[in-house]
Amino acid sequence: MGAMAASLTHDIIQGPPPPIDTGWGGGGDGSEGRGADRRATFTGLFVGLAACTMLFAALTSAFVVRRGLSDMNDWVSISKPPILFWNTGILVLSSILLDRSRRALKSGARSRFNLWWSAATVLGILFLAGQAVAWYQLKQAGIFISTNPSSSFFYVFTASHAAHVLGGVTALVYVDVQALRLRLGPAKRTVIDVTAVFWHFLDGLWLFLMLLFYVWG
Amino acid sequence: MASPSTHTAHHAPQGFIWKYVFSLDHKVIGIQYYFLGLFSVFLGMSLSLLMRFHMVYPNVAVKWFATLWPAAAAGGIMTPELYLSLMTMHGTIMVFFVLTTVPQSGFGNYFLPIQIGAEDMAFPVLNMMSFWTTFLALVVMVMAFFVQGGAPISGWTAYPPLSGAGPLTGPGEGLGQSLWILSIAIFCGASLMGAINFIATTVDLRCKGMSLMRMPLTCWTWLVTAILALLGFAVLLAAGVLLLLDRLAGTSFFLPSGMFINDHIIANHKGGSPLLWQHLFWFFGHPEVYIAILPGMGVTSQLLSTFSRKPVFGYKAMVYAILSIGFLGFLVWGHHMFMSGMNPYSAMAFSVLTMCIGVPSAIKTFNWIGTLWGGKIHFTTAMLFALGFVSLFVTGGVSGIFLGQPALDLYFHDTYFVVGHFHMIMGVAAIFGMFAGTFYWFPKMFGKMMNETLGKIHFYCTFIGVYCIFTPMHYVGLAGNPRRYADFTNVAYLAKLMPLHVFMTYAAFFTAAAQLIFIINLFWSIWKGPKAPPNPWNATTLEWTVPSPPPFDNFGGVHPVVYRGAYEYSVPGAPTDFTMQTEPPPAAAGD
């Protein structure tokens, strides 16, 4: 019985314990210092982006299923306001400026960083304003959320995206205020990077939504 | 062995509000979640007692029913709609605010950072927000009882059209149902915040030497549960938003045309698909079962090893089983929808995948038995509950094999067989995991020991009680007893089953009464229990290296270093039958 029990136990009881390994995935090598904070913040960001992706994936799958189910001809593609293309351009430009801004910071050009970041922030706010105009134009054309499934999904997608953009703009404004008040020390680099990655994600997401609206919507 | 700290997550708070209410300390937040769950479980249990009473004595007038529900229980007799609202709220409160909250957010919050050697969770402010958002969700959910029409009647799964078509469909389907959806959406937000924190903490804040394969299995289950919550709750949130819009904004995502409800033609909806809701809901709903049960599996593995003084048998196999269960959990949602008229080939695919989950589940069960085999078993209360978990997991799991067959499920689906099945595995097994965790970690959390005698009385009463409640449900289900019915006393073919229902009701009241023993033990021990030493169970993981309760930054300003796996019990040649994870290997001891 004893021998059998021994054979059933885990192999760690045989021989000396293995040497310390630093683990996989970045942890396990100590949680001291800002390095761990920065690493964890990025992990948190990417995990959060996974959650956002799942949210929009769920809405997209609902969109695809609902579109396919419309055997009663209740899906009538709405005519989308042309301002959406302007908004798309504004958002893409904002992403490009944000990237230039980060490059400027890397090369130590603080004033150029401030300029580009502020410009990207203004464009972000302009995008939201542009989306509001698009909704207003739809309303004027008599297209509301309950008009037909195409308009329902248009409003749901754009509003969900705008809610995320609002969060992004808040972060952009925060960094901008800190930058303009000369409070952007090395400790704030993580905030800058996280904000920029999130903003690029929202940009990519919007391009996907435009594709969805114009190909299937 | 340990290095001095150069960094603290945040400073110790001053003042009552910041220390105990809006605390950023993961330990306080863990306890807040625990008590939120404790309140919820008693609320949910009370609702189930009212249901069981009504089921067997539907015509007995109870005066205070009329006081509580003047319209829905006029004269002291419940209406069927009131019964359905109790059922809805029982399921919802238990699933979301107990089974999702306590094992993961309660124990996980308290012990994940300590077990991996971190000072706190990765994002303490997010953690605090996560708790208070959950609290808000509970408040909104409970508010549904007090609005006109009362709580919703559409069950915890809230299937449309019933949940989407508004007050016409019955009392509770007005503001009550809207509050229900709102509460669930808020809860989704809270769970997503929690999941982000758990994943980032586990991935990035492990102390030196704590490789993934040295983590206690509890940490593995919390990690995988967080991943499931992250992917599942995002989908439920999307579904909830769409359902709310169907109710409030006149859209037709889930509501079809041609509905005729309570003598009214519903003309303002068309083209929506109730099945779309079912797909989205169960894409979340099935992983939710594992969100509830996985942490219990982790606690059970930890306790079986500790109290049989043996390493966990097949640690790596356990880890891969946890990962497999998590992965497969996302591929089987269709087995909740065999009745929906799905293509038989789809049903077969879902059925085969469902059977596949039996493999990692069996690996876990056999490894638990392997862990016990030949061990020096200490039958503490915590250990008894862990053994009870294994028993209930097997009993509940085996009936799942029946339900995973589409042909059998067509018969079983709307019977008490399903109620018996999911209560055994998702409800009671998970609750036993919580009890096990409570008795095991109470000394660390509160610095006091619980009373073992009261604990054992409570265990035996509860263990016998739950089997008496839920085993007969399988039998009455086999006999064709439908579920979700408020009253079947007048149904001729069920008359012979009524004595069993009466027995189940008495068993339910007995089991509920036994929980008072637990409450007395819990609060008496917090107040007057004997002081707990740092390591009362001679366990090996990091939480037992620090005082009970741990200091604010967990490790008193030093960073622990881990040299070995989590379950080194009875190591040949070692001076004691447990070797702490922080114990350096003999060669390094002199360094």
User: Could you read off the pLDDT of A106-129 as tens digits, one per residue?
Assistant: 888 889 999 999 999 999 999 999
The superfamily (CATH) of domain A82-215 is Cytochrome c oxidase, subunit III, four-helix bundle (1.20.120.80)
Give the containing element (helix H, strand E) for B365: helix B344-372
**CA of A161, closest CA in chain B: separation in Å?**
12
Chain A: closest CA distance from residue B6 (Å): 6
**Beta partners for B208?**
B561
Residue B572: closest CA among chain A residues belongs to which residue?
A: A13
Q: How far apart are CA A113 and CA A48, in angstroms?
A: 27
Q: Report the residue from B197, B210, B257 with minimal CB separation from A23.
A: B210
User: Looking at CA atoms only, how far is residue A150 from chain B in angstroms?
Assistant: 10
| CB-nearest partner of B204 from A36, A66, A75 | A36
With CB atoms and an 8 Å threshold, state whether B230 touches A50.
Answer: yes
| pTM summary value | 0.93
Query: Is the pLDDT confidence value at A24 over 50?
Result: no
CB contact under 8 A, B230 and A54: yes
Per-residue pLDDT tens digits for B337-396: 999 999 999 999 999 999 999 999 999 999 999 999 999 999 999 999 999 999 999 999
- The predicted pLDDT at position B171 comes to 92
Q: Is B557 exposed, middle or buried (0-12, 13-18, 19+ CB in 10 A)?
A: middle
Confidence grade of residue A22 (pLDDT, cut at 50, 70, 90)? very low
| Facing residue for A51 by CB, picked from B126, B204, B234 | B234
- Number of Cβ within 10 Å of residue A157's Cβ equals 22
Do the Cβ atoms of A70 and B230 come within 8 Å?
Answer: no
Provide the 3-class DSSP secondary structure of residue B559.
strand
Contact B312 A39 (CB under 8 A): no
User: What is the pLDDT, as a whole number, of residue A26?
Assistant: 40
From A214's Cα to the closest Cα of chain B, the distance in A is 20
Instruction: Give chain B positions within 8 Å (CB) of A64.
Output: none
| Residue A25 in this model has a pLDDT that exceeds 60 | no
Of B196, B211, B245, which is closest to A48 when you measure between CB atoms? Answer: B196
Contacts B3 to A, Cβ<8 Å: 30, 32
B17-B21-B22-B23 Cα dihedral, nearest 10 degrees: 100
Q: What are the tens digits of pLDDT across the range A143-166?
A: 999 999 999 999 999 999 999 999
Instruction: For residue A15, count CB atoms less than 10 angstroms from its CB and return exposed for 0-12, middle for 13-18, buried for 19 or more.
Output: exposed
DSSP string, B244-274: HHHHHT---SS--SSEEETTEEE-S--S--H
Which residues in chain A are closer than 8 Å to B249, comparing Cβ atoms?
Answer: 145-146
Contact yes or no for B7 and A72 at CB 8 A: no
Tell if the CB–CB gap between A16 and B585 is shorter than 8 Å: yes
- Count interface pairs A-B at CB distance under 8 A: 212
Check whether A5 has a pLDDT greater than 60. Answer: no
Please tell me the predicted confidence (pLDDT) of residue B13.
Answer: 73
Given an 8 Å threshold on Cβ–Cβ distance, is B271 in contact with A44? no
- Cα separation, B133 vs A39, in Å, equals 26
Tally of CB atoms within 10 A around B387: 22
Q: For chain B, 591 residues long, give each residue's pLDDT as a single digit of tens.
A: 444 444 445 667 778 888 888 999 999 999 999 999 999 999 999 999 999 999 999 999 999 999 999 999 999 999 999 999 999 999 999 999 999 999 999 999 999 999 999 999 999 999 999 999 999 999 999 999 999 999 999 999 999 999 999 999 999 999 999 999 999 999 999 999 999 999 999 999 999 999 999 999 999 999 999 999 999 999 999 999 999 999 999 999 999 988 999 999 988 898 899 999 999 999 999 999 999 999 999 999 999 999 999 999 999 999 999 999 999 999 999 999 999 999 999 999 999 999 999 999 999 999 999 999 999 999 999 999 999 999 999 999 999 999 999 999 999 999 999 999 999 999 999 999 999 999 999 999 999 999 999 999 999 999 999 999 999 999 999 999 999 999 988 899 999 999 999 999 999 999 999 999 999 999 999 999 999 999 999 999 999 999 999 999 999 888 899 999 999 999 999 999 999 999 998 865 544
| B203, B251, B315: residue with CB nearest A145 | B251
CB-closest option in B200, B373, B585 to A40: B200
- Answer yes or no: are the C-beta atoms of B347 and B407 closer than 8 Å: no
- The domains found in chain B, sorted by start residue, are 28-272 (1.20.210.10), 293-529 (1.20.210.10), 540-591 (no CATH)
Asked if A4's CB is within 8 angstroms of B374's CB, the reply is yes
User: CA B233 to CA B283: how far, in whole Å?
Assistant: 9
Closest CB to A62 among B207, B253, B585: B253
pLDDT of residue A19: 42
Q: Which of B3, B239, B567 sits opposite A58 (nearest CB)?
A: B239
Contacts of A48 in chain B (CB under 8 A): 192, 196
Least CB–CB distance from B204: residue in A5, A27, A55: A27
d(CA B564, CA B209): 8
Q: What is the CA radius of gyration of chain A?
A: 24
Å between A112 CA and nearest CA of chain B = 32
Contact in structure between B480 and B493 (CB atoms under 8 Å): yes
Interface test with A, best of B251, B280, B376, B591 (most A CBs within 10 A): B251
Locate the chain A residue with the closest alpha carbon to B198. Answer: A44
Cβ neighbours of B561 in A, within 8 Å: 20
For B2, nearest residue in chain A (alpha carbons): A30
Chain A CB contacts of B252 below 8 Å: 74, 146, 149, 152
Of the segments A7-16, A18-27, B154-163, which one has the largest average pLDDT value? B154-163
Cβ separation of B205 and A24 shorter than 8 Å?
no
Task: Please answer yes or no on whether A25 and B212 come within 8 Å at the CB atom.
Answer: yes
Per DSSP, the three-state class of B531 is: strand
**Shortest Cα distance from B499 to chain A (angstroms)?**
46
CA-closest candidate to residue B195, choices B108, B308, B116, B265: B108
B238–A58: do the CB atoms touch at under 8 Å? yes
pLDDT of the residue at B591: 46
Query: Phi and psi of B267, rounded to 5°?
Result: -100, -15
Mean pLDDT of A24-33: 44
What confidence score (pLDDT) does residue A184 get?
A: 77
Which amino acid would we find at residue B363?
I
Contact residues, chain B, for A4 at CB < 8 Å: 373-374
What are the angstrom distances between the C-alpha of B423 and each of B125, B409, B525?
Answer: 35, 17, 29
Sequence-ordered list of residues with C-beta below 8 angstroms from that of B21, at least 6 positions apart, any chain = none
Pairwise pLDDT comparison (A26 vs B383), residue with the higher score? B383
Partner residue opposite B564 with nearest CB, options A1, A17, A27 = A17
ipTM of the predicted structure? 0.93
CA distance B534 to B546: 6
User: Under a CB-based contact definition with an 8 Å cutoff, are residues B72 and B79 in contact?
Assistant: yes
**How far does chain B reach from its first CA to its final CA, in angstroms?**
9
Distant-in-sequence, close-in-space partners of B112: CB < 8 Å, separation ≥ 6 = B26, B121, B198, B201, B202, B218, B219, B222
The candidate with the shortest Cα–Cα distance to B499, out of B512, B481, B516, is B481
> B99 with B213: CB under 8 angstroms?
no
Distances (CA, A) of B64 to A40, A115, B72, B74, B418: 54, 70, 12, 10, 32
On the question of a cis peptide bond just before residue B472, with omega within 30 degrees of 0, the verdict is: no
- Among chain A residues, the shortest Cα distance to B563 is held by A20
Q: How far apart are the C-alpha atoms of B423 and B432, rounded to whole Å?
A: 12
- pLDDT at residue A12 in the model: 38
Give the mutation candidate from A4, A7, A12 for the B interface (greatest B CB count, under 10 A).
Answer: A12
| Cα of A108 to nearest chain B Cα, Å | 28
Q: pLDDT tens digit string along A202-217? A: 999 999 999 999 998 7
Q: Give the 3-state secondary structure of residue B505.
A: helix
Confidence of residue A36 (pLDDT cuts 50, 70, 90): low
* pLDDT of B587: 67
Give a three-class secondary structure readout of B28-93: HHHHHHHHHHHHHHHHHHHHHHHHHHHHHCCCCCCHHHHHHCCCCCHHHCCCHHHHHHHHHHHHHH
| Tokens 């249901």, located at residue | B51
Cα dihedral A57/A38/B189/B109 (nearest 10): 130
